A and B are shown apart, each in its own frame.
Chain A
């Protein structure tokens, strides 16, 4: 094994160890388990977005819509269909992914800033549907009256509702599955093609790669992952509301990805951690937290465009 490979393995082991033991080291440090869960869910969302943004190079600024759809899918399942947490997750993921796939056909031909505009606008369609179809979604008050259900594993039940730690581990399990799938896809020939498109779209086209179809598949996959993250978010809050679909939420996701480092697989998770913890902290100490978050956006864009990981790698090299 080369030293590079060893180093990678060590880093990977460190990441997973930190995640697995989060409930035990966060609380003594003054955090709380619910915050760790939130970091994990939003981190998954940021990684899903980055699957498209960082590895295909296509800027979607409306991904919160699929996140929110996942949340409503899970919530509606638990409320009206069946009291089953896995089913809720599955249907939430499907709702986000299928809607993303359908809209994807309309927008894959756009590029750059126009892709961003059209994704924002279509994202807002779902926002308004959630906001105004109050008989189904609860409108501005949000979808209430459901809660995550204990996991029934046949032999025994795991109570993820009242135990914050058990729920964290359940979320971590889902997170691991999704992240594993993402890593697998990125290593496959398809993943390599995505990166080729990012690096030079024209050349890829000349090589006979059906660029639009690849972008569509990447977009759709990313929406599926986003839907899963959203479904988990609904379980975190026992609640779904239209704000989760709004473009300002999309902006937060893009920020997490950029702040952590778009070009690296784990960057968005780091970005989400910093963003969530910082926002949580700032909004407790000052009512003017929005200025600080805004300032963070400006500073990252001007001085750390490659994100924290990009910055670290560069200063090391």
Chain B
């Protein structure tokens, strides 16, 4: 077996690839979070909660319409829930200190975790994925399973679609404009409320999609959202707040960094992403691809 001939190089190679796969998943979470942060000036602490909602919706409907159906249906359903939450709870807070939306989503995360436990029980739930995805592609590269590749593919498609949306559609151009200067956009007669709602829905759609993907990979637990939220935060800060390509880069970087650290110093594999963030903030306060002045 080739691993035995040169274990260290291959181990490194394995972990870099693997880190990229994990990072791709963070990217999906972080992009949604970033969209909402940029336009609504809201740190959505309930983002992990929406991921859990997406996952559990998929779990609930898989028996009827199968995994593929759930993959298509669950994210838009989550987005609808997000839309309602935005309308009823978050909209009254625009224009107030960001402290309030932060506290609100913080409380919302509690309610979502507890609600899922109430409805589905505290015990973890398995989600069945199509059998052909649930096996490794080759014996040596056993960690590249069909499902992981599939996840990466879905992330790539979602990211590509998102960038197309932002670059070429009217909605996307308005969202980008609003990120830079909301007042001017409003002065031009664009309905800012509607813009924010749609933008929020797109962000929650991505959270729901991450939820379905995570459900297939990890299974479901009411508490799973919390653990996945922080890496996405770091991805945004490292990449540069306000820059979606930055978020993309940040997500992949922290995936690789924690993959590599797991080889040499497993105990630090979670702390390393924070160290990375500290270094980036020291050397380049606005983040890798962040624009000047965005962070203050």
Contact = CB atoms under 8 A, between A and B. Distances in A.
Interface of A: 53, 59, 61, 106-107, 109-114, 116-118, 120-122, 124-125, 128-129, 132-133, 248, 251, 254-255, 258, 288-291, 293-298, 300-302, 305
Q: Considering residues B37, B93, B274, which has the most beta carbons from chain A within 10 angstroms of its beta carbon?
A: B274
Q: Which of B103, B268, B282, B285 has the largest number of chain A CB atoms within 10 A? A: B103
Identify whether the interface residues of B are mostly helix, strand, loop, or mixed. helix
Contact of B107 (A118, A288, A295): A295
Contact of A254 (B89, B99, B234, B281): B99
B277 A121 contact: yes
B111 A117 contact: no
Contacts of B230: 121, 124
Interface string B182-226: 000000000000000000000000000000000000000000001
A298 B100 contact: no
Contacts of B123: none
A295 B115 CA distance: 12
Contacts of A106: 278, 281-282
14 contacts: A61-B102, A114-B241, A114-B295, A116-B98, A124-B274, A125-B271, A132-B267, A254-B102, A294-B111, A297-B107, A298-B89, A301-B100, A301-B107, A302-B89
Interface of B: 37, 41-43, 45, 89, 92-93, 96-104, 106-111, 113-115, 117-118, 226, 230, 233-234, 236-237, 241, 267-268, 270-271, 274-275, 277-278, 281-282, 285, 295-296
B33 to A, nearest CB: 10
B103 A117 contact: no
B234 A121 contact: yes
Contacts of B92: 302
A301 B104 contact: yes
Nearest to B229: A247
Nearest to B88: A302
Taking chain A's interface residues, is the majority helix, strand, or loop, or is none over half, making it mixed? helix
A204 to B, nearest CB: 15
**Residue among B37, B114, B268, B282 with the highest chain A CB neighbour number at 10 A:** B114
Contact of B111 (A110, A113, A128, A295): A295
Contacts of B271: 125, 128-129, 132
A1 B104 CA distance: 43
Contacts of A132: 267-268, 270-271
A125 B274 contact: yes
Output the residue of B104, B106, B296 with the most chain A CB within 10 A.
Answer: B106
Nearest to B40: A113
B275 A125 contact: yes
A125 B278 contact: yes
A132 to B, nearest CB: 5
A90 B106 CA distance: 33
A111 B98 CA distance: 11
A110 B107 contact: no
A289 B114 CA distance: 8
